[in-house]
Amino acid sequence: MVNDYIELVAPQQINTPPAGLSISINSGAQYSNETNVKLSLTAYNALDCRYSNDGSSYSFWEAYVTKRDWTLSGGDGKKYVYYQCRNSYSTSQPVFDNIILDTEPPSDVFDLTAELMWGAAPDEAFVILEWSDSIDETSGVKNYLVYRHDGNQPGEPPELIGTPTTSYFQDKLKGWETGNFWQYTVIPVDNAGNAGNPGNMAEINGQP
């Protein structure tokens, strides 16, 4: 005689809320220049989760994922994203991350000056560029983009020749000749990646 039977095994009982929650905005970046960001998420024993910009008004519950697109609240400044999960037992405490939203470029440079100085060799010259510091109240100025354009070649694009972090740059020119005509502009860039506009143009023409 053969006895057929089925062994019923109870599923593992969950008796704790989700644990190990973490959230990271844009892989831990300090600044963002747009409201659309990417969230990196972790949680243990989570069934579904929800999100909030203020810790009060949450999105609908949705299935647990490790990556998610999210939209920050508007207006520049420090922004928070809250993250909370639940399972069949209970709901976790929320965790959060923050990032500084800066959507405005730094102030433009309008007082750029250029001074030509000779080097040791007869055809060696230096152009000393100076300007006032740009201002960016939200994320701060990261650096400046210094462009040089050959004024005798109006159809050619300007060349990026430096990215200084201060309002001073020295351009070394080799092979200086009478009739050279160089035009310089400076564009400030903030820590969130916003670039300003070219300000005034400083020119070096001929010999000193």
DSSP 8-state secondary structure symbol assigned to residue 5: -
Position 120 pLDDT exceeds 90:
no
Encode burial over 88-110: b for 16+ CB neighbours within 10 A, e otherwise. Answer: eeeebebbbbebbbbebbbbebe
- Residue 9 falls within a domain, yes or no? no
Structure tokens at 48: 């579904």
Per residue in 81-108, pLDDT tens? 999 999 999 999 999 999 999 999 999 9
| Domain C-terminal end among 46, 68, 101 | 101
Instruction: Evaluate whether residue 13 is within a structural domain.
Output: no
Q: Which of 164, 112, 128, 170 is nearest to 143 (CA)?
A: 164
**pTM for the whole structure:** 0.84
First to last CA, the chain: 114
On whether both 94 and 167 belong to a single domain, the answer is no
Q: What is the pLDDT of residues 8-39, one digit of tens each?
A: 444 567 789 999 999 999 999 999 999 999 99
Tokens encoding 177: 């000749």
Give the structural domain span for 201. 113-205
Please check whether residue 60 is in contact with residue 49, taking contact to mean a CB–CB distance below 8 angstroms: no
Q: What is the CATH number of the domain that holds 128?
A: 2.60.40.10
